[in-house]
Amino acid sequence: MPKPKPTWTEKLHGAEGYQQVKPIGERMSKRWGTGTMVIPAPTEVDELMRQVPAGKVTTVNEIRAALARRHGATIECPITTGIFGWIAANAAEEQRQKGNTDITPYWRTLKTSGLINEKYPG
């Protein structure tokens, strides 16, 4: 019998201790330069998304910069930030559908261009 697919909430909390700081690889250095890159845990991205107050917005780039500073890295991995933001948004919507009102306000986190992320729920 196949293993059941994890929920979004399980995905959000399933990578604790995943954070790592490593050198920027050769392929990425062409775009991002040299130094170090942090790969955060999904809950770190969710935590910063939760801190955006009502009436305010942030961008994925601002979250990436905050995570890089937190970990003393040059940059934060742009790919994982997008993926983990998507997971946080879907986990929030999953919790909202269960009646939970204390959810991550994912609609306050915009794409780098300032547009709403069309991959987010709704």
pLDDT tens by residue, 6-40: 999 999 998 766 789 999 988 888 998 999 999 99
Would you say the pTM of this structure is higher than 0.75?
yes
DSSP per residue over 33-101, as a string? -SSEEEE--HHHHHHHHHTSPTT--EEHHHHHHHHHHHHT-SEE-HHHHHHHHHHHHHHHHHHHHTT--
Identify the band that residue 122 occupies on the pLDDT scale cut at 50, 70 and 90.
confident
Domain ranges of the chain: 42-70+77-110
- pLDDT of the residue at 19: 84
Is the pLDDT at 72 greater than 90, yes or no?
A: yes
